[in-house]
Amino acid sequence: MRTVLAFAGAAALCLAGAALATNYSLWINGRTGGGVIGNYADFSYWGPATTEAGINKKAVNWDGRSRISDQNHLVRNALDCYCTGPNWCYVAVHSAGNMMIGYALSMYGGTTRSKKNPVPDSTGVCSNSSDGGTQVGWNIKWVDVAGGAAGGSELADLGDWAVSEPLVSDLKTATARAMYDHNNTRSKWFYMYAGAKGTVYSGALPGQDDEAVAYHSSGGVSGSSGGSYCNPSDWLCNDLTLGTAANQGGRAKWSYHSVMFRDDSETYNHYANGNWGGIVSKVRADMVANAR
């Protein structure tokens, strides 16, 4: 699948004028935030900025605590800057960053965007290109998702996180799943990386989990509510399948969602820990290998 997408992206770049084309790797943070908003060079949420993480990497920072709808313009600013005109993007997201890119594509991916010069001002906004051109949506090759929270978390349902954060309301499972059409990715593939190194306090999460989200969310499982999904070695619940296949028990994944990594060894937790750690490390490795 990646080979086909890469070929299609390359063909489009040739048509647009390869001499002017640039690829970028956008990293969209999750809950808690940490990077300076508008500063695409601030990777403090993730780890050292010197760490390799895909071609021309950019940190798309938002506050990590406000509602998705209130902060989503920051993501759209970055997409306009780096993913319009002749330029193309690879996108990597973590946790609630999954909701951010999903919301942007579903709600705004069919809108007309002004083509931009990829030179942002201090607020992260780029000026229009000199030709004054427009396009529909953004040039995105694919999206890598580490510990995706687009399906919500039972920890939000139960108030285990700070209830003063508006984002926690969005992270409730029923709310997250009803917020936008998760099947409408504008035909962009979401490659899911699901961790399973849970701990005692994550017992409220059904099936395997990475301490913050369960497989039903990190695996892109469809439906209006969560469910219990596990590794094949666990006989107590249905298996989360690899790829795009329906899960054991028959529940499908959302359209254009494919599980690239399932943590069968239960090694990876949810947290980057300021050093590109946990399930983020698997996505970073893929971005290094394939975002070129």
pLDDT tens by residue, 31-46 = 999 999 999 999 999 9
> Over the stretch 216-260, which tens digit does the pLDDT of each residue have?
999 999 999 999 999 998 888 999 999 999 999 999 999 999 999
> Over the stretch 95-110, which tens digit does the pLDDT of each residue have?
999 999 999 999 999 9
Average pLDDT over residues 146-160: 94
DSSP structure string for 75-120: HHHHHHHHSSTT-EEEEEEETTHHHHHHHHHHHHTTSEEE-EEEEE
Q: Which residue has the higher pLDDT, 214 or 164?
A: 214
Which pLDDT score, from 0 to 100, does residue 236 have? Answer: 84
Could you give the percent of the chain with pLDDT greater than 70?
A: 92
Tokens, residue 14 = 């040739």
Average pLDDT over residues 148-166: 91
Which pLDDT score, from 0 to 100, does residue 202 have? Answer: 67
Checking if the pLDDT of 6 tops 50, the result is: no
Checking if the pLDDT of 119 tops 60, the result is: yes
Q: Which residue has the higher pLDDT, 45 or 2?
A: 45
> Over the stretch 188-223, which tens digit does the pLDDT of each residue have?
999 999 999 987 666 789 999 999 999 999 999 999
Q: Which range (6-10, 22-26, 97-101) has the least confidence?
A: 6-10
**Quick check: 169 and 175 in contact, CB under 8 A?**
yes
145 backbone dihedrals φ, ψ, rounded to 5°: -125, 115
One-letter amino acid of 33: G
Q: Which residue has the higher pLDDT, 1 or 284?
A: 284
**Quick check: 236 and 254 in contact, CB under 8 A?**
no
Which pLDDT score, from 0 to 100, does residue 274 have? Answer: 95
Contacting residues for 153 by C-beta, under 8 A, at least 6 apart: 171, 172, 173, 176, 205, 212, 213, 214, 217
CA–CA separation, 241 and 30 (whole Å): 25
**Quick check: 216 and 147 in contact, CB under 8 A?**
no
- Residue 68, classed as helix, strand or coil, is helix
CA–CA separation, 135 and 160 (whole Å): 43
Tokens, residue 96 = 């609630």
Which pLDDT score, from 0 to 100, does residue 164 have? Answer: 85
